[in-house]
């Protein structure tokens, strides 16, 4: 008996990832994305960044900085904060896949220049029915199980100078696709770490003093993960994000900011099958790629594979976004995300708005795909935050 993994595999393919090894997606000239385990770790959990094209590594600090760049917490004007985010996923295809996210931070020390923070994210792949390969119910036919991905992390951030801060994060990642039988798959977990930095300084633009910030976050540095008892081990989405943001005052009560993020997976590119290559030789190269350990994979991700330097450039996704803020009460956002068609072809505009009443802020974002037949089209995100003001 086997589990009907159609729903799970569909989710993995559409997320440009793998849960058990999507070898059919590897090595084609026209489409060669980088497969990883736990693809949900690459989904933006909050509506603020979600409304700005998924740009957030260098934007002004907020409750959801934990995902984008926890080093920003050291510059937060508030003493503490907590937030909840909810994202229905692939809504156009299924109605029970979603990402739920909870986050909080607290500034410590008399100098108010350091913070601790934590988050939990739960990605539900919904209910999957156990059936036989022929589709007929067997001993376990009709039983329902609920595969999921989970991540829990904690961070410490600190100002090192008046303008620069850094943060370190420890994360536990858990993936469970196991079903009613012992051979359906196994749950597995792995520890990972992040290192992040953030710099903000004021510059004069004409008659106005503007805030210029830069940030980086290298996330999910850790081991590999398996859902089949170790028969194959998959890379987790080790990732490097670099970005900059400029906030410009339009008046005493309104500002506008523009941000850009560059994003690259630090996972080696899978090999491309040569036109006249022997299938056995190609299979051996794929096996060698799968056997690369995670740390070596970080360095090999910058190396020259079959596609050369041009393929490295294709692996960089770009996010651009803008935010208009009126009196720290009403915010309007827009952005664009671009990924090369060979590496996933995610291209979409985003729009969002935020409303703040005293210490409570509600944000919403909407995704509008520019690619035909994109299942992510019309994705909505919602997030709610509460800020505890400093005395």
What pLDDT is attached to residue 178? 75
% the chain with pLDDT above 90? 59
Is residue 308 assigned to a domain?
yes
Question: Measured between alpha carbons, how far is 195 from 158 in angstroms, rounded to an integer?
Answer: 12
Over residues 65-95, the pLDDT tens digits come to 999 999 999 999 999 999 999 999 887 777 7
Is residue 287 assigned to a domain?
yes
pLDDT at position 183 over 60: no
What pLDDT is attached to residue 21? 36
Is residue 1 assigned to a domain?
no
What pLDDT is attached to residue 180? 59
Is residue 286 assigned to a domain?
yes
Over residues 12-67, the pLDDT tens digits come to 544 443 333 333 344 445 678 898 999 899 999 999 999 999 999 999 999 999 99
Over residues 302-313, the pLDDT tens digits come to 875 666 677 788
Question: Measured between alpha carbons, how far is 116 from 168 in angstroms, rounded to an integer?
Answer: 10
Is residue 200 a contact partner of residue 244, using CB atoms and an 8 Å limit?
A: no
For the chain, what is the domain count? 1
% the chain with pLDDT above 70? 85
What pLDDT is attached to residue 375? 74
Is residue 267 assigned to a domain?
yes
Nearest Cα to 363, choosing from 332, 336, 388, 335? 332
Question: Measured between alpha carbons, how far is 324 from 333 in angstroms, rounded to an integer?
Answer: 6
Is residue 221 assigned to a domain?
yes
Q: How far is CA 220 from the centre of its chain?
A: 10
What is the arithmetic mean of pLDDT over 274-297?
88
Q: Could you tell me the CATH number of the domain that includes residue 356?
A: 2.40.160.40
Q: Which residue bears the tokens 């909407």?
A: 366
Q: Where residue 181 falls among pLDDT bands split at 50, 70, 90?
A: low
Q: Where residue 327 falls among pLDDT bands split at 50, 70, 90?
A: very high
* Buried b / exposed e along 97-109 (16+ C-beta atoms within 10 A): bbbebbbbbebee
What pLDDT is attached to residue 186? 73
Which of these ranges, 156-160, 180-184, 276-280, 355-359, has the smallest mean pLDDT?
180-184
pLDDT at position 168 over 50: yes
pLDDT at position 277 over 60: yes
Over residues 102-155, the pLDDT tens digits come to 999 999 987 789 999 999 999 998 877 666 555 544 554 567 778 899 999 999
Nearest Cα to 230, choosing from 296, 290, 146? 290
Is residue 264 a contact partner of residue 315, using CB atoms and an 8 Å limit?
A: yes
Domain with 222, as residue range(s), is 6-389
Q: Is 113 exposed, middle or buried (0-12, 13-18, 19+ CB in 10 A)?
A: middle
| Cβ atoms within 10 Å, residue 309 | 10
pTM above threshold 0.85: yes
pLDDT at position 161 over 70: yes
Six-digit token pair at 179? Answer: 């079903």
Q: What is the 3-state secondary structure (H, E, C) of the chain?
A: CCCCCHHHHHHHHHCCCCCCCCHHHCCCCCCCCCCCCCHHHHCCCCHHHHCCCCCCCCCCCCCCHHHHCHHHHHHCCEEEEEEEEEEECCCCCCCCCEEEEEEEEEEECCCCCEEEEEEEEEEECCCEECCCCCCCCCCCCCCEECCEEEEEEEEEEEECCCCEEEEEEEEEEEEECCCCCCCCCCCEEEEEEEEEEEEEEEEEECCEEEEEEEEEEEEEEECCECCCCCCCCECCCCEEEEEEEEEEECCCCEEEEEEEEEEEECCCCCCCCCCCCCHHHHHHHHHHHHCCCHHHHHHHCCCCCCCHHHHHHHCCEEEEEEEEEECCCEEEEEEEEECCHHHCCCEEEEEEEEEEECCEEEEEEEEEECCCCCCCCCCEEEEEEEEEECC
270's CB contacts (< 8 A; 6+ apart) are 26, 27, 32, 34, 35, 286, 289
pLDDT at position 189 over 60: yes
What pLDDT is attached to residue 24? 36
What pLDDT is attached to residue 241? 98
Is residue 278 assigned to a domain?
yes
């Amino acid at each position: 008996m086997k589990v009907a993994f159609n729903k799970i595999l569909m989710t993995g393919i559409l997320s440009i990832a793998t849960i058990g090894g999507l070898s059919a997606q590897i090595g084609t000239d026209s489409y060669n994305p980088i497969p990883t385990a736990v693809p949900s770790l690459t989904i933006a959990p909050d509506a603020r960044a979600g409304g700005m094209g998924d740009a957030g590594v260098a934007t002004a600090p907020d409750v959801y900085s934990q995902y984008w760049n926890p080093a920003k917490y050291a510059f937060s004007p508030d003493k503490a904060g907590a937030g909840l985010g909810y994202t229905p996923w692939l809504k156009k295809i299924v109605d029970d896949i979603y990402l739920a996210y909870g986050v909080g931070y607290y500034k410590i020390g008399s100098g108010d220049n350091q913070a601790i923070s934590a988050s939990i994210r739960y990605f539900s792949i919904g209910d999957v029915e156990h059936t036989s390969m022929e589709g007929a119910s067997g001993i376990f036919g009709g039983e329902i199980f609920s595969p999921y991905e989970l991540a829990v992390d904690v961070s410490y951030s600190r100002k090192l100078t008046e303008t620069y801060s850094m943060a370190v994060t420890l994360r536990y990642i858990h993936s469970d696709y196991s079903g009613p039988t012992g051979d359906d798959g196994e749950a597995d977990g792995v520890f990972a770490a992040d290192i992040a930095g953030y710099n903000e300084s004021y510059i004069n633009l004409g008659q106005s003093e503007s805030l210029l910030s830069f940030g980086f976050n290298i996330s999910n540095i850790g081991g590999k993960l398996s859902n089949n008892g170790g028969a194959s081990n998959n890379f987790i989405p080790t990732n490097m994000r670099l970005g900059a943001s400029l906030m410009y005052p339009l008046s005493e009560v309104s500002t506008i900011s523009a941000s850009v993020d560059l994003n690259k997976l630090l996972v080696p590119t899978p090999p491309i099958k040569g036109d006249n290559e022997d299938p056995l030789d190609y299979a051996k190269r794929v096996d060698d790629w799968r056997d690369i350990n995670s740390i070596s994979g970080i360095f090999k991700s910058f190396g020259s594979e079959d596609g050369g330097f041009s393929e490295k450039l294709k692996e960089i996704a770009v996010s651009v976004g803008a935010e208009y803020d009126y009196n720290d009460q009403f915010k309007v956002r827009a952005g664009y995300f671009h990924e090369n068609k060979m590496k996933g072809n995610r291209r979409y505009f985003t729009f969002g708005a935020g409303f703040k009443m005293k210490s409570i802020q509600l944000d919403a974002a909407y995704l509008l795909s520019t690619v035909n037949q994109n299942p992510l089209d019309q994705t909505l995100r919602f997030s709610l935050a509460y800020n505890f003001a400093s005395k």
